[in-house]
Amino acid sequence: MKYLSERGVVVTEISPDRFSLHVEGNRHSTLAESSEGIHFSCWDSVPGPGKDDFLVTFDELDDALLAVWYFYFGEPVRLGEWHVPIHRHPYWSLGKLAYCIANAIHVTSIQFEVTAEQRRGDLLGFRSSAGGGPLSEDRYATALRSQFIACSSALPSSRTLMLRRDLEEAYVVESQQ
């Protein structure tokens, strides 16, 4: 934790194996150790996950600390034409992200809205059939399938890259003039 503190992250011990992390003007996060590994999470929505919520587990503490540092101090990377906020999604792998972008489907904004609405409908149907209670792995996966991250073009363009949070779909959306 000293490593993060020295770099400007406010670290507050919640318990011997759980810490609250914060940088001024940014989201709070949590770093916790368990038998499964080191958990790094930002979870603001209830029950969630919200569009920017995540929980990722690392096997090594060094990997988790690097993800925390990159989350707070990193910037979007340029992949081809796109500015991609990979630093805000520590559960993404660069290889899968590059593959997803390379296979993006080109659609109009109207076509994309139909697809996005269908994904939201899938989530609502799943939530009503699953009932309340804690967020299971199935509910979490279904929530990720219903959410998209917008990435701007690095070039003058009327196009936007929309990445599904689980990186199983990507769309290059051409806005209608």
Distance CA(34)–CA(129), nearest Å, equals: 31
Task: Supply the pLDDT for residue 44.
Answer: 86
Which tokens belong to 97?
């992200």
- For 78, the enclosing helix (H) or strand (E) is strand 77-79
Please report, for the chain, the start and end positions of each structural domain, with discontinuous segments joined by +: 2-73, 77-174
Assess whether the previous peptide bond of 16 is cis (omega < 30° from 0): no
Report strand pairing: 170-174 vs 105-108: parallel
DSSP result, 130-149: H-SSS--HHHHHHHHHT-EE
- For 98, the enclosing helix (H) or strand (E) is helix 94-102
Task: Supply the pLDDT for residue 9.
Answer: 95
The model's pLDDT over 53-101, given as tens digits with 9 standing for 90+, comes to: 999 999 999 999 999 999 999 999 999 999 999 999 999 999 999 999 9
Counting as low any pLDDT under 50, the low residues of the chain are 130
Backbone phi, then psi, for 133, in 5-degree steps? 95, -175
> If we measure between CA atoms, which residue out of 167, 162, 166, 169 comes closest to residue 148?
162
Task: Supply the pLDDT for residue 144.
Answer: 73
CB 119 within 8 A of CB 146: yes
- For 101, the enclosing helix (H) or strand (E) is helix 94-102
Which tokens belong to 149?
């991250």
